[in-house]
Each structure stands twice: as C-alpha cells, then as structure tokens.
Structure 1
Amino acid sequence: MDIATIAGLILSLTAIITALIMDGGTPGELFAHPSAIILIFGGALGATAITAPLKIVLQLPKYIIQAFTTRKFDSRGTIDLLSKLADKARREGLLALEDDSKKIEDKFLQKGISMVVDGIDPEQVSAILETTVAQMRARHKQGMGFFTAAGAFAPTFGIIGTVMGLISVLKQLDNPGALGEAIAAAFLATLWGLLSSNLIFLPIAGKLKAKDEEEAHDRYMQMEGILAIQAGENPRIVRDKLNAYLSPSEAKSEEEAGDKKVPAGNAERAKA
C-alpha cells in the first residue's frame, strides 16, 4: 500500500471530523441526507464519463488501485544490471547479451537490450523507446484527466444540490420548525461537493501524476543505459551516467558501491 496516500487520507478525515465535533456537530450528520452524496458522486462521475472514452471509464477501479498501491522501482538494481551488461558487452561483444536479455523481467528493459543485440540502428532504438515511454504517459494522462475533470464537476453538482434543497425550503416557509433542518440539508450538498473534489478526485489525480513522473524517470534512466551499452561505453562511465538520475544521497552510496563492483581491469581503463 502507498503509505503517503493512506496517511494523507486519514489526516484529512481526522481534521474534518475534529473540526465538525468542535463546532458542535457529529460525524453522523455528514451522512444524514444520502441524497446529497448520491447526487455529488453520481452526477460528477456521470458528467465526467460523458467527456471520456468508455475504455477509460471501465478502468476506473484500476486507477484507484494504482493510487493506493506502491510500485517500487529498483533503480540501484537497474544500475547494477546495466553496468554488468556494459562490462560484458565490452569484453565479449553485444551478441553475448542475448541470453542475459531473455532473463530480464522488466519488459521495457528487455525490449531495449534485445534490440541492441539484434543490431538495430541506435537512432531507431532511441526512437522506439521514446515512443514507448510517450505512449505510456499518454495512457496515464487519460486517467489523470478523468479524476481532474471529476474534481471540477463535483463542486458544481454540490451547488446544484444546494439550489434543489433551497427550492424545497421555500416550499416549507409555512412550517418554520422544519426550515432549519431543510437548510442544513441543502448546504450539505455543497459540503460534499467540496469534500469529494478536494479529498478524493483531485488528490487521486495528483497521485497518478506523481506515479507517472516516477515511472517515466525510471524509463529514461533505463534508456540512457541501453544506448550507452550499444555505444560500447566504459562500464564505469555507464554507472556514472545512470547515477545522475538518483538523488544526491543515493548517488553517493551507489558510487561507493560501484567502486567495489567494477572489475579491476575496467577500473584501470576508466582512469586511462
């Protein structure tokens, strides 16, 4: 599970409920009129569905799961692997990587190394990998766009619910005892519109965007390593290039580890 998503949701709900109680209310009041909740979520999601392709609508559960789960990218493991492949390619040639490419579990990385082994032109390899990343990000953008649009529609439907509630209030002007509850019910729709937008829809869109950037960053690092291997660069140089994609603290520890992992012969050539 994505701890940041869970912790943020719990903190937000705690703050809202605490403020409600301090103002003399109870958590149960938020659910006192289910019609407001139905209007907000049904209306916002329905209106957004009109703007999106059916395939995106059907993938909503998948996007929500992605927002609450963590996909760990082993950057250090990738750097180690690409450095070893660079060393082997320099000693034995690119064809020697054929068996290694079949053992790679990451499909993107496997695809890149396989193209290198097949002798495809470097420009073609770069173009194909760039297109793969671009299409991946385009798919992610569709999910982000859906929740961003839902976040924009939700407050509007909250206002619609409030207007509908106020119409009902006006019909009860001859019954002053019921006006207070009717007005509260009307404004509950606005509250749910704002809550759903700023606590559910927009945060999910933001989380999906962050995960997209994280994965794209990892793919570009892999691409850099693949092209460096194809160019026959020194394993130490390959490692240094890929370390640039890490945070300063990660890069420092990775560089220290790299000093121990690069064969002595290659270390001498790196100094030359």
Structure 2
Amino acid sequence: MFAAIGLFGVFFCVFGGYIIFGGKIGIVLEALPKEIMIIGGSAVCAFLITNSTHVVKQSMGDIKKIFSGARFHKKEYMELLSLLYQILKTMKTKGVLAIEQHIEKPMESNIFNAYPSIMKDPFTVKFVADYLRMFSIGVDNPHEMESLMEQEIEKVKHEGLHSSHALQNVADAMPALGIVAAVLGVIKTMASISEPPEVLGKLIGGALVGTFMGIFLSYGIMAPIAGRLKSIVEEENQFYHVIRAAITAHLAGYAPQVSIEAARKKVPSEYMPDFAELEEALAAIS
C-alpha cells in the first residue's frame, strides 16, 4: 500500500507542484511521448542487452513485489518455528528414523501439511527437508552443517538480488539517456535557429524535458523500485537464517525448546513473537 501511495506522491508532487507554481504543462505533455520513446525505449533495450533471459523474466516477475512486499510475516514465522519444534522434538524423543518418511516426501507429510503457510513456499519445504536428510545420513557436525547452510542462504540471496541490480543499472543510465534526448532536442532547435523567439523557446523547453525525464525516471521511479526489491530480498532471506539457527542448535545438543528459542532470536524484530506467545503455540503442539 505504501509503495502505491509513494508512487502516486512522486508524480503528484513533481507535476502537481510544477502546475501549482505556474508551470505550463502543455509543453511537457507535448514533448513527453518522444522523450519517453528515446529514454524509456533505449533503457529497455539496454536492459535486454545487459541481462540474461532468466534475469529479465525474474525482474518482470519481481516488480509486483514492490506492492505485495515480502512473503514472510509473523504468521509464517510462527508456523515455521512450530514446524521446526515439532520435527526436532520428534527427532529427540523417537530418533532420526522417525522423521525419515517426512523428509523423504515432505509434500505428503502430515507434519509439514499441518502448516499451510510453509507449504505455500516449496523452497522452504525443500530447504528444511534437505538439511534434515543430510543429518539423517551422518552429517552431524554443527559447524559443517552451519557452513553448508550459510553458503546456500548466501547463494539464494545473491540470486534474488539480480532483479534489484539490473533495475539499479537502468536507473543509473537514465540521467545520461535524458541528456542524449536533450542534445537531440538542441540539435533540432539549432536547425530552426531562424524561427522567432517564441518558437525557439518552445523548442528549447521541449529539449529540456529530456533531461528532466531522465532524472525523474531514474531517481523518482527506477532507483526506489530497485532499492525496495533489495530490501525485500534481504528481509525474506532472514527466514532461512531462522531455519539454520534451529537446526545447528539441535546438532549442538540443545533441547528442542532451546533450539527454537535460538531460532526465535533470528526473527526480524517486526515479526518476532515474544517468549510467552511462542511458548503457548509450542505447548499446543505438545
């Protein structure tokens, strides 16, 4: 919601302020289509040249995240902590073999399916199952497991940031493309140098719209979008650090309740349940 409000506010403050303080919007609107074609069109083409097909598709899909935000909120974190607790408790009381059927086919597991918010994210399900499977086949050194999990979490973060980096590159290029559009406008003006001042003034004003649009689209639209996508990736990445904390604490020999408390501390403050709230949720599982 705030992203939509902010986007509307950018347009209102810039164009509305220009009109309110006496600017003639007509010359801007008249020059806008060709400036958008030159700046926007060349920016899109440069974007396609620079990035792979995968990054292009990922970027197009990620744009909607600026309005929907991160996938994980307090509900998802509560379900994740509850899922991890139930699994770790089962391992502690019944042994590793008791969870084998659940980690081999997690999509059919009654434990995993008890947490629908987690099941909506196949990567999280796979991430949990894969590392529990590694533990079941003999990787029981907490430092080795933590290192492996950190590497995959970092890889996921790096790949998730592709969209942000690609769009930031476009934002960085737009002011220069605006100058290109302005220079072309000046060339057009110079070809009409014999025209009366009022005509030349209109042509020069149209040329300057190119510089304006390049800067406006860069710092008012593209850069904020790129920054927003980066913050979403970083926020979502914390979800996997919670899993890492719980599993490595369990491997270090801590009780399930202690392992989950270690994981709770990794939850972003905005979504972190307090101790009593989590204890009540875990008691319901017991």
TM-score by length of 2: 0.81
The letter for the 1-side match of 2:245 is: E
> C-alpha distance in 2, partners of 1:61/1:250?
28
Aligned with residue 238 of structure 1, among 252, 259, 272: 259
2:97 is aligned with 1:95: yes
Aligned equivalents of 2:254, 2:24: Cα separation in 1: 66
Q: Distance in 2 between matches of 1:255 and 1:11?
A: 40
Equivalent residue number for residue 193 of structure 2: 173
| Local SS of the residue matching 2:161 | helix
* C-alpha distance in 2 between matches for 1:181 and 1:156: 22
Deviates more, 1:226-235 or 1:15-24: 226-235
Please state whether the residue corresponding to 2:180 is helix, strand or coil.
helix
Shift of 1:128: 3.4
Q: Once the 2 structures are TM-superposed, how far is the Cα of residue 49 of structure 1 from its aligned partner?
A: 3.6
1:32 paired residue number: 30
Report if aligned partners of 1:109, 1:222 keep a CA contact under 8 Å in 2: yes
Counterpart-to-counterpart distance in 2, 1:61 and 1:249: 28
- Please give the per-residue CA displacement for 1:184-229, whole angstroms capped at 9, x wherever unaligned: 1101111110111012221121011101111221111111112223
Give 1:1-272 correspondences, 5 Å limit. Answer: 3-25=1-23, 29-33=27-31, 34-73=33-72, 74-101=76-103, 102=106, 103=109, 104=112, 105=119, 106-122=125-141, 123-176=143-196, 177-247=198-268, 250-251=271-272, 253-262=273-282
In structure 1, distance between residues paired with 2:282 and 2:64: 40
How far residue 67 of structure 1 moved from its aligned partner, in angstroms, is 3.0
- Secondary structure of the 1:32 match is helix
Relative distance call for 1:26 and 1:77 in structure 2 (3 A) is farther
Inter-partner Cα distance in structure 2 for 1:57 and 1:26:
38
Poorly superposed stretches of 4+, deviation over 6 Å: none
With over 3 angstroms needed to count, the CA separation of the structure-2 counterparts of 1:30 and 1:121, relative to structure 1, is farther
- The 8 Å contact of residues 181 and 211 in structure 2, kept in 1 or not, is answered as yes
Gaps of 5+ in 1: 267-272
Q: Could you tell me which amino acid in structure 1 is paired with residue 67 of structure 2?
A: F
Q: Following TM superposition, by how much is the alpha carbon of 1:231 offset from its aligned partner in structure 2, in angstroms?
A: 3.6
How many angstroms apart in 1 are the aligned matches of 2:57 and 2:90? 45
For the residue of structure 1 that corresponds to 2:3, the secondary structure is helix
Paired with 2:247 and 2:277, the residues of 1 have a C-alpha distance of 21
1: CA distance between counterparts of 2:282 and 2:153?
Answer: 30
Rounded Cα–Cα distance in structure 2 between residues aligned with 1:112 and 1:95: 14
Residue identity in the other structure for 1:246: V
Quote how far apart the aligned CAs of 1:17 are: 2.6
Using the TM superposition, give the Cα deviation of residue 14 of structure 1 relative to its aligned residue in structure 2, in angstroms.
1.8
Shift of the 93–28 alpha-carbon distance from structure 1 to 2, 3 Å rule, reads: farther
Q: Deviations over 1:130-158 (max 9, x none)?
A: 23222212212322221111111100010
Matched-pair contact (CA < 8 Å) for 1:86–1:233: no
Give the TM-score normalised by the residue count of structure 1.
Answer: 0.85
Instruction: Give the counterpart letter for 2:228 in structure 1.
Output: K
Percent of paired sites with the same residue: 23
Give, in angstroms, the shift of residue 29 of structure 1: 4.8
Q: Distance in 1 between matches of 2:14 and 2:21?
A: 11
Higher mean C-alpha deviation, range 36-45 or range 56-65: 56-65
Please report how far the alpha carbon of residue 58 of structure 1 lies from its aligned counterpart in structure 2 after TM superposition.
4.2
Native 8 Å contact 2:185 2:204 kept in 1: yes
Sort the Cα spacing of 1:61 and 1:35 in 2 relative to 1 into closer, same or farther, 3 A.
same
Counterpart of 2:115 in structure 1 is: none
**What's the CA shift string for 1:29-67, capped at 9, x where partnerless?**
543221111111122233344333343234431232333
